Structure 1
Amino acid sequence: MTSRQQSSFPRQYARTRRYALGAPRSFTVSPDGSRVVFLRSPSGTEPAHRLYVLDLAGGEVRERVAADPRELLGGAGERLSAQERTRRERSREVARGVVGYAVDAAVELAAFALSGRLYVAELRAGTTRPLPARGPVLDPRPSPDGRLVAYVSDGALRVVPVEDGDGADRALAEPEGEHVAYGTAEHVAAESMDRSRGFWWSPDSDRLLVARVDNAAVEGWWIADPAHPEREPARVAYPAAGTDNADVRLFLLGVADGARTEVVWDRGRFPYLARAHWSAAGPPLLLVQARDQRTQEYLEVDTDSGATRAVHREEDGRWLELVSGVPSRTPDGRLVRVADEGGARVLVVGDRPLTDGRLHVRAVLDVGDGDVLVSASAGASADDPEIGAIHVYRVGPGGAERVSAGPGVHGAVRGGPVTVLASALPDRPGTRVRVLRDGEPLAEVASYAETPVLSPRLALTVSGPHRVPCAVLLPHGYEEGDGPLPVLMDPYGGPHGQRVVAAHDRHLTSQWFADQGFAVVVADGRGTPGRSPDWEKAIAGRHTLALDDQVAALRGLAGRYPLDLGRVAIRGWSYGGFLAGLAVLRRPDVFHAAVVGAPVTDHRLYDTHYTERYLGGMPQDVPEVYRANSLVWDGGLVEPREPARPMMIIHGMADDNVVVAHTLRLSSALLAAGRPHEVVPLTGVTHMTPQEQVAENLLLLQLDFLRRALPAG
């Protein structure tokens, strides 16, 4: 690696928001296949996204800008409400401008919020204009017929007509108290269930299904900025493990007359509203879960009375995984779901499984007349799975047909005869986006993302008795015979965080560390997604298995790669930070230093839905499980082993997901035990660390620590 690359990668990585800027994203295809709508910023360093339309009708492919935030704001900067900042934090949004949009049924009208104001883009006519809505506007969504836009403002669910003469902006539901909000997702839904929305239009555009969230019983936590003691702390309703959740109800609201009907189900038994779906194929569908997430029901809603009936029930002794895109319906009304059956995660339509253990279904992308488009990886029973590959399949009664080709991470969006296929490949930077009509190439959507100053020297393999998927990265210029290298384990290692993937850009940071003189190993052990339900659920109540697999993977690779097992460090963020801290505290015989980023050190301080799922209950019911999976317990270290290993602990002081109390309690316990460590507090920084200078210098700071902390070679 040249000196220019060594110094410029951290800066480029930070400036491009991890190479996400300039790349097209958030695609929607019109039902007739005549146009594709998407977002993209105009360069690889410009964070303000525009709304684009790719016209496909008439035999000529033409791309045009539908909304440019610079023009709409007259060059002024964005102003974000506290609620919008929270929404972006939950969705890990690092861009600005038009960061999200929603469309009507025909994909002729798009609505979006910009600087707290409501805008609509008429996608056929090519015009964009503001609507007179009450701000700050959150999550605007057009009615299917395109005549109204519903949105949330100050906890109220409101509607506004698109055209003058169709009425005025008005509230359909307003909060009855300071802790109540309509039309939004509560903390655990947005953070841990992957449900970011709180209202759904009827297919006839005459009613809305609206969530009412009451946080009165939820504990209030205070997020302060110690660097600015003159500012008041912000109160956050945070449902920590074992405490009360928000009270979530659903109402059917009539658009014309304001009629209000409560949707009734056994909320005492099934308090979690995990999913909602309403299409022209049938009545609304709900997916509700018990608090322990071992039982869930699919409910059908009677839109006249609000009563519900169970159309399917599922149980699992460990937990039931939530999958994107389901429940849904086929055009003829059959239930589409994804279930863990027979040791596999399969697609089920009606009562019939359409896939088997050869595929591990990860998401439903689209439901068509005769098939279902899914994202899937090779299941545990596959003969020779491509390590780290995620493909798109078209699944019908006759079986599954792969749409994507070659190793890579592929995703898709479909509308009528047109499919947008996005492919991140291991041997080229960025993501290639192709538009297919009836399976044949029609167009390619340009990416303006910057080309990275380095490329990964990547080897994908498996290691250890459990055949743990691994990525191994050696320095550019390293040759056989140069001798063993100090090792840097670079995992996430936990639920929902697959790191070993066949995609170029996912390994750039690991390669940069490798080029500083390390052999970098990324291992996806038990608990990580993409292989089988048993693989994911093996860690139920036993997060320490994730550490066991890191050790087994490391030792299994030592005979095949130049690894100096006398100099092994580990770095990680969030769950990876927990894993890094666990490594040096429990296995100092293997790990000699750790960078511990935003770690969950005491699971009693993390949210209900996530924590109680993986630890098998509430802390008051299974305290021994929480103790065994904690780095600290009531201020003391849990089972620290000698010798003591150096740790650098990093945490954003404004983090409202993994609050800084996790790091402060760990530091206090380490200090009391006389164990070496250093703490890097990031003032004003959240869990994402989106700030350019912070992201750049954190890489350099970690490198400096690792060079100081590891034993000399």
Structure 2
Amino acid sequence: MTSPGMPGTPGTAARSFPAEAVAAFPRQFARTRRFSLGTVRHVTLSPDGERALFLRTRSGTDTSSGLWIRDTDGERPLADPATLEPGSPAGPPTPEEAARRERDRDLSTGITGYATDDAMELAVFVLDGRLWAVRTGQGEPFGLPAAGPVTDPRPSPDGRLIAYVTGGALHVMAADGTGDRCLARPGTDEEGTVTYGLTDHVSAESMGRARGYWWAPDGSALLVARVDNTHVRRRFLGDPADPGRPPRVQHYPEAGTANADVSLHLLRLDGTATEVDWDREAFEYVVAAGWDAHGPLTTVESRDQRTLLTLGVDAGNGATRVLARQRDELWVELLPGAYCRTASGALVLPHESGDKRGLRVGEQVVTPPELQVSQVLGTDGDTVLFAAGEDPLETHVWSWSPDKGNVAVSDGPGLHSAVQRGGTVVLDSVTPDGPRVTVIREGVDSGSIASLAEEPLIRPQPELLTLGERRLRSALFLPSWYERGDPDASPLPVLVAPYGGPGMRLVVRARIWPSLVAQWFAEHGYAVLITDGRGTPGRGASWEKAIWGDQFTAVLEDQVDALHAAAEAVPWLDLSRVGIKGWSFGGALATAAVLRRPDVFHAAVAGAPAIDPRLYDTHWKERFLGHPDRYPEHYDRCTLSNEAHLLRRPLLLVHGTADDNVAFAHTLRMSAALLAAGREHSVLPLPGQSHIVSDPVTAERLLLTQLLFLDKALRS
């Protein structure tokens, strides 16, 4: 039942972490931003594969990210915010930039994104709303004039021009900063409602499409998204701790309400424009878009998410033709990075067969049946790089080409990703020992890019288990000081700590931050159990889609079954003292657990819980529950405030007051329902915090507050 070779598994020598290390961990966890600072991010390779650009902070506690280059001379900074704006405190990001960072879950400051021309000779980026550029082979970064605060600048493929967005308008200038002109501007009555060149909320949050425009290969035109939020519901995100500060307006399409009207336009530098023509009423979601040597293309999806079309676009008149069609009776699962073409024009698409998600290139299914494909990482000529795994506990990198077929790029346990160009692969791995970035040149290991992240004061020691009839993948964390099998040792209270929802796995052979937090709770005398049940990715379509129409019943059943199966295998678990904690979907699952199964779960910490599915966005919730007008019973079944009267156990609700993903209203409505039902509970608001808790003091104290609450509920 236990996977061999992992730290802390039976047969290996357990060790006790020093008490001072355990005590200092919350502060380290907070000031390193979950150990994300100092890691290597957003790698780009030159056409010959000899040079790599990337983002990284200077240490594991430095929050300001800079642009770096690795070449034959080693690593060196290309652009350092500290030298570009010496002595000047970082200003607040523009609303568009703040939204991009939130969607990207980026906890750093400084240079948090960049783009290059095709030759990777020119890189452009934004710092405090200003536009900067740097020649990667020579010179210092230089500022460029812009019409206003800049979002998402991108050079043309030949490096002669730079496009950027400001105030919802798309501008183009020469790479030396001259000749700035506006290609598309919202009307005066559309300010803030219509934008060109930006994405909309659900595309960025729920589909993974972060971009809103794409250059033609010859730099003569752009494919541009126009987003009209006129009919989208507005939210006002204020800070209750600062009532004098004006609220920020957010266009947020709640389930069952109007989406943004997204259209695509071909904007040419000669001033002419053409709208791309497809049935936008039937296919209102723009999932992906691009422009390659074979012309523009886009992938669009129906509102019910059961039909997906990949369309070729005529660059002259905007007419479209169907290149591929996918259909599913529940929903078409989107494959990140797919819906693109190789150099020879072959479409790269997912291929669903039974319970396997493979990869199709052109007319050929190229992946073996044992692989579950999770992402297309890119194309290099006719080579396709993709992420896949046979085991849901690991993700590996593979490449496929017509002459070599499938070639495994990564090995060893972990979660692996990569970029490839010009015979070079940069392999980005999260292993059981932490992050590692390896450079592979022509199939030979040629060094690494250093991670400057701090080494955690404690190391996770999971026992990886396969539990019950459904072979549930679980990880059990025990105190490093606990004498297993000692007849005199007291049984341990249990803390169940799942996410449990779509799009995320926590039970993996890798040192991810939730495993560090789990070990920290374990060091305080808990047996921490994490289980990936039905609805989580990596185990096929039927596993993922078992939650259709009901996001809690099967998921909660898996958590209960895993807990009982673990207790049968590990006799030192005390099932009379079981707590559960989670965040986002995990927070909603924790709430459901104490409401529906108080016989099993005796206390819960629910962070940013999605209590009312009608308050969440269209694309995400309608994927799993359908449209609320057609399936109101699905939404009623998953609205946990309807069950407030069932609460019999201690419940702590935690929520950031500025959360723009799961609105603070979810927790307020749950608390109001509990008050109306006369049910005692606790609420911890986090002033000014969004869905990701970024303030280091708040993040540190939040860990300690959860521990104190659970200790009082389960140990008193």
Q: TM-score, normalised by structure 2?
A: 0.94
What do residues 25-44 of structure 1 show as CA deviations (whole Å, max 9, x unaligned)? 11011111120110110011
**Partners of 1:580 and 1:596 within 8 A in 2:** yes
Select the residue among 531, 537, 544 that pairs with 1:523.
531
Structure 2 letter corresponding to 1:597:
G
User: For residue 394 of structure 2, what is the aligned residue in structure 1?
Assistant: 389
Q: Offset at 1:578?
A: 0.6
How much does 1:710 deviate? 1.5
Provide the rounded CA distance (Å) in 2 between the counterparts of 1:88 and 1:614: 26
Q: What secondary structure sits across from 1:538 in the alignment?
A: helix
Partner Cα distance (2:352, 2:700) in 1: 41
1:552 aligns with 2:568: no
Task: Please name the residue that 1:706 is paired with.
Answer: 710
**Residue 701 (structure 2) pairs with residue 685 (structure 1):** no
8 Å contact kept, 1:221–1:235: yes
Find the counterpart in structure 1 of residue 13 from structure 2.
Answer: none
Question: In structure 2, which of residues 197, 213, 217 is the aligned counterpart of residue 203 of structure 1?
Answer: 217
2:518 match = 510
Partner residue in 2 for 1:134: 147
Residue 370 of structure 1: CA displacement? 4.5
Measured against aligned partners, the alpha-carbon deviations of 1:229-279 in whole angstroms (never above 9, x if no partner) come to 222222211100000011111100012x11110001000000000100211
Residue correspondence of structure 1 range 149-168 to structure 2 within 5 A: 149-163=162-176, 167-168=178-179
Match of 1:44 in 2: 60
Q: CA deviation at 1:215?
A: 0.4
Structure 1 segment 626-645 matched on structure 2, within 5 A: 626-632=635-641, 636-637=642-643, 641=646, 644-645=648-649
Give, as a single letter, the amino acid of the residue that structure 2 aligns with 1:172: L
User: What letter matches 1:650 in structure 2?
Assistant: V
1:221 aligned counterpart, secondary structure: strand
Q: In structure 2, do the counterparts of structure 1 residues 287 and 95 end up closer, same or farther at CA, with 3 Å as the change threshold?
A: same
Range moving further from structure 2, 569-578 or 76-85: 76-85
Of the three residues 315, 320, 339, the one matched with 2:327 is: 315
The Cα offsets for residues 508-559 of structure 1, whole Å up to 9 and x where unpaired, read as 0110001010000110001111121221111111212111111111111112
Matches within 5 A, 1:110-129: 110-129=123-142
Show the counterpart of 2:239: 225
Matches of 1:355 and 1:83, distance apart in 2 = 39
Question: Match for residue 493 of structure 1?
Answer: 500
3-state SS of 1:211 partner: strand
Q: Which runs of 5+ in 1 are unaligned?
A: 379-384
Give the distance between the partners of 2:208 and 2:660, measured in 1 at CA.
17
Deviation at 1:595, TM superposition (A): 0.2
1:471 has 2:475 as partner? yes
1:158 counterpart letter in structure 2: H
Q: CA deviation at 1:140?
A: 0.5
Q: Do structure 1's residue 571 and structure 2's residue 581 form an aligned pair?
A: yes
Cα distance in 1 for partners of 2:658, 2:380 equals 44
TM-superposed CA distance for 1:499, in Å, is 0.7
Alpha-carbon separation, structure 1, partners of 2:74 and 2:21: 37
CA distance in 1, matches of 2:613, 2:142: 47
Letter aligned with residue 579 of structure 2: A
Contact preservation (8 Å) 1:66, 1:126? no
1:261/1:306 contact within 8 Å kept: yes
Aligned to 2:549: 541
1:581-660 correspondence runs (5 A): 581-615=591-625, 617-632=626-641, 636-637=642-643, 641=646, 644-660=648-664
Structure 1 Cα separation of the partners of residues 502 and 68 of structure 2: 34
Q: Cα deviation per residue 1:84-129 (whole Å; 9 max; x = unaligned)?
A: 2122112111101111111111111111000000011111114311
Is residue 150–residue 160 contact of structure 1 (8 Å, CA) maintained in 2? yes
CA distance in 1, matches of 2:382, 2:281: 38
Structure 1 segment 1-12 matched on structure 2, within 5 A: 1-12=17-28
Give the stretch that moved more between structures: 535-544 or 116-125. 535-544
Q: 2:311 aligns with which of 293, 299, 303?
A: 299
| Identity of matched residues, % | 49
Count of aligned residue pairs for this structure pair = 689
Q: Offset at 1:488?
A: 0.5
For the Cα contact (< 8 Å) 1:489–1:568, is it kept in 2? yes
Paired residue for 2:430?
424
The one-letter code matched in structure 1 to 2:326 is E
CA distance in 1, matches of 2:156, 2:423: 24
CA contact (8 A) 2:608 2:691 kept: yes
SS at match of 2:590: helix
Instruction: Output the TM-score relative to the length of structure 1.
Output: 0.95
Moved over 6 A (4+): none
**d(CA) in 1 for partners of 2:682, 2:354:** 48
Question: What is the rounded CA distance, in whole Å, between the counterparts of 1:563 and 1:264 in structure 2?
Answer: 61
**Does the CA contact (< 8 Å) of 2:344 and 2:382 recur in 1?**
no
Instruction: Give the secondary-structure state (helix, strand or coil) at the position aligned to 1:163.
Output: coil
1:241 aligns to what?
255
Would the aligned equivalents of 1:287 and 1:298 in 2 still touch at CA under 8 Å? Answer: yes
Letter in 1 for 2:194: V
Q: 1:31 aligns with which of 33, 47, 50?
A: 47
**Aligned-partner Cα distance in 1 for 2:272–2:394:** 49
C-alpha distance in 1 between matches for 2:207 and 2:445: 35
2:371 corresponds, among 343, 359, 374, to 359
Asked if the contact 2:591–2:604 (Cα under 8 Å) also holds between the matched residues in 1, the reply is yes
Q: For each residue in 1:42-100, what CA deviation from the matched residue of structure 2 results, as whole angstroms up to 9, or x when unmatched?
A: 011001011011113xxxx4222110111111231222222221221121111011111
TM-superposed CA distance for 1:399, in Å, is 4.3
**Is the partner of 1:710 in helix, strand or coil?**
helix
> For residues 368 and 134 of structure 2, what CA distance do their matches in structure 1 show?
43
Instruction: Identify which range, 86-95 or 697-706, moves more after superposition.
Output: 86-95
- Measured after TM superposition, the shift of residue 421 of structure 1 is 0.8
Q: Distance in 2 between matches of 1:227 and 1:436?
A: 51
**Matched residue SS, 1:450:** coil
**Alignment correspondent of 1:382:** none
- Whole-angstrom CA distance in 2 between matches of 1:276 and 1:319: 20
1:267 aligns with one of 280, 283, 291: 280
Partner of 2:438: 434
Aligned equivalents of 1:451 and 1:265: distance in 2? 52
> 2:198, 2:317 → 1: CA distance?
23
CA distance in 1, matches of 2:81, 2:172: 23
Segments of structure 2 that go 5 or more residues without pairing to the other structure are: 1-16
Q: 1:126 to 1:462 in 2, by over 3 A?
A: farther
Q: Is the 8 A contact 2:234 2:249 kept in 1?
A: yes
Cα shift at 1:492: 0.7
The answer to whether structure 1 residue 415 and structure 2 residue 421 are counterparts is yes
SS at structure 2 position matched to 1:546: helix
Query: Is the CA contact 1:277–1:327 (under 8 Å) kept in the aligned structure 2?
Result: no
Q: Is the 8 A contact 1:343 1:357 kept in 2?
A: no
SS, match of residue 678 in structure 2? coil
Q: Is the 8 A contact 2:131 2:146 kept in 1?
A: yes
Q: CA deviation at 1:711?
A: 5.1
Aligned to 2:4: none
Distance (whole Å) between structure 1 residues aligned to residue 97 and residue 438 of structure 2: 32
1:55 corresponds to: 71
Retained in 2: the 8 A contact 1:587–1:641?
no
Q: Determine the structure 1 residue equivalent to 2:356.
A: 344
- Range that drifts further, 396-405 or 526-535: 396-405
Corresponding letter in the other structure for 2:179 = A
List per-residue Cα deviations over 1:291-324 (Å, max 9, x = no partner).
Answer: 0100110100001000111111110011111122
Does structure 2 conserve the Cα–Cα contact (< 8 Å) formed by 1:377 and 1:531? Answer: no
SS in 1 for 2:35: coil
**1:393–1:400 Cα contact (<8 Å) kept:** yes
* 1:654-673 CA-partner distances (Å, limit 9, x unpaired): 11111111001101111122
